[in-house]
Structure 1
Amino acid sequence: MAESAFEDLDTIVDNEEREELVKRVLELQGQLKGMINKVDTARNEHQSLLKENQLLQKYINNSLTSTAVFGATNGAVNSNNISLRQTDASSPH
């Protein structure tokens, strides 16, 4: 009879340990789900920013191309303006 009491005690301890382990596993699973959601959110934000950066780069390249085609405006200095100014300064008036 004493042996069965010890066996019952072992079973109770095993069940308590098992319950604690199950609780810990469920807690860790919840944390993992939270981390996965954060990673997914960061990945989506990264993709969005990457697309936005590509769009801005195209806009900048198109702006630079159109400026080169139509010439600099609003007092912007380009190589032609510099050479003209140097020629004007060196010529006697």
Structure 2
Amino acid sequence: MSSDGDGDMENQAELEEKTRLINQVLELQHTLEDLSSRVDAVKEENLKLKSENQVLGQYIENLMSASSVFQTTDTKTKRKGSKGARKD
């Protein structure tokens, strides 16, 4: 009779272990789904911000080209670049 009791206890322990593992797998699946959703949301936000950044960059470029202050700076930069390229 003690062997039946040991067998039942082993079966019960195996069942509990399987149940624990199944619950852990389900929890990990939910965590993975949450992380995947978060990654998708971050990617979408990143694309949106990149687009806004391009618009702002173009706007700033247009403002700079319309301003005489920045046009003189551009010529100074070009001169510096040509002096740096020259070998003495």
User: Is the shorter-chain TM-score for this pair beyond 0.5, marking a shared fold?
Assistant: yes
Query: Out of 26, 31, 38, which is 2:34 matched to?
Result: 38
Larger proportion of helix: 2
Higher relative contact order (CA 8 A, sep 6+): 2
Please tell me the residue identity of whatever aligns with 2:28: L
Computing the radius of gyration from Cα coordinates, the structure with the larger value is 1
Kindly, what percent of the aligned residue pairs are identical?
A: 9
- Structure 1: tracts of 5 or more residues without a match: 72-77, 81-93
Shift of the alpha carbon at 1:67?
1.5
**Which residue of structure 2 aligns with residue 9 of structure 1?**
5
Q: State the TM-score, normalized to the length of structure 1.
A: 0.68
**Which residue of structure 2 aligns with residue 75 of structure 1?**
none
Q: Distance in 1 between matches of 2:55 and 2:43?
A: 18
Q: State the TM-score, normalized to the length of structure 2.
A: 0.72
Alignment RMSD (CA, Å) = 1.6
Shift of the alpha carbon at 1:70?
2.9
- Structure 2: tracts of 5 or more residues without a match: 71-88
Q: Distance in 2 between matches of 1:25 and 1:68?
A: 63
